[in-house]
Amino acid sequence: MDSSYIKMEILEQCFENINGSCSRTPRRFAEQTALYITLILGDALCISGNLMVIISISYFKQLHSPTHFLVLSLAFADFLIGVLVLPFSIIRAVESCWYFGDTFCLFHSSVDAACSLSSIFHLCFISIERYFAVSNPLTYHLKFTTSVLNLLICLGWLLPITYALAMPYSNTYADELQDFMAVLPCKGSCQMQFNNLWAVINLLIYLIPFSLMIGMYTNVFIIARRQARLIESIAGKTATVKEYSSEVAKRERKAAKTLGIAVGAFTICWMPLMLDVTVDTIFNVTTPLTVYQTFFWIAYFNSSLNPLIYAFFFPWFRETVKLIVTCKIIRFDYSDRNLFNE
């Protein structure tokens, strides 16, 4: 009985022959299989959905516009999360151990932070672009030029990459900030820890884009309603205009629904993780590992939702996906195809 107990203890370690190894959460085979299938399917959705957006906007010339290029850059950030981050995170989540070494842990954490933050920044920039498009439709193309677009895309990548590199590869914690990103609590963990200063920075760097998104989308909704009511009041006297007004109202409701889903999805996916990390650090408490991992995966899921929210709602995307999946773009030249017949 004693030997079986010792064997069970050994099996529950990430590394059997290493002192200070993390404990491994034992799972039944059915539970482990179900987790792998669920998370791999989620990763496949993230990769395939964002890849469809990348191919669509890159191939079809009619989609070569500032709006779509921002969506393209967003899709690329989410695609990198699906390819470079999620496969290793899936193994860590299911096996409850990190088997890829401390050096790759730092690299993985940096790529994770850079791509996730880039995704958030691009969502924010898309909301800004849409605000200018709705509020100033006549001068939009004069203000939102190619140089402005390039600046936003560059900021959407340079700022997150700088931030991500500053965290794990900075030596500032080696002086007085020993709990900054510090030493892993045990072998096989790959969890970054922050002091109060970086906890506040982390919260702000997510909270500021979130606040801008909420503000921009709220203004977009208000302006859209105002414009729809103005059209109805100016010429709502004929049957033709009444029919047109009905169509305007439908478009308004659809736009409101789309924006509501976008903001709601972002809030639901990211806010629990942001608050959890901040509360844990400032109040020196520890969230149960299962709860913490759940928050992390909900945030990851936002990368899978983005192509559904920002692309699947548009008829042009359904058309391009059909042409891509059926391989028609390989056999024929559809790059000049009109995607906005409706």
Tokens of 132: 């200018």
H-helix segments, 19-85: 29-59, 66-80
pLDDT (mean) for 264-292: 80
Place of tokens 């801008």: 212
pTM: 0.82
Per-residue pLDDT reduced to its tens digit, 203-259: 788 888 888 888 888 888 787 777 767 766 665 555 555 555 555 555 555 555 666
13: β partners: 23
Close Cβ partners of 262 (under 8 Å, ≥ 6 residues apart): 123, 217, 309, 310
Residue 51 pLDDT greater than 90, yes or no? yes
Q: What are 137-146's contacts with CB under 8 Å, separation 24+?
A: 144/66, 146/66
Report the CATH superfamily, name and number, of domain 27-198+289-329. Answer: Rhodopsin 7-helix transmembrane proteins (1.20.1070.10)
72 or 143, which is more confident: 72
> Confidence class of residue 200 from pLDDT cuts 50, 70 and 90?
confident
Which range scores top for mean pLDDT: 60-74, 248-262, 279-293? 60-74
| Burial class of residue 241, CB neighbours in 10 A (0-12, 13-18, 19+) | middle
Amino acid at 26: P
Write out pLDDT tens, residues 111-133. Answer: 998 998 898 898 888 888 888 88
Using CA atoms, how far residue 78 sits from 12, 185, 188, 272, in Å, is 34, 29, 26, 20
Measured CA to CA, the distance from residue 233 to residue 227 in angstroms comes to 10
What's the mean pLDDT in 261-281? 80
Q: Which two tokens stand for residue 218?
A: 């709220």
Tokens of 170: 């900075």
179 pLDDT higher than 50: no
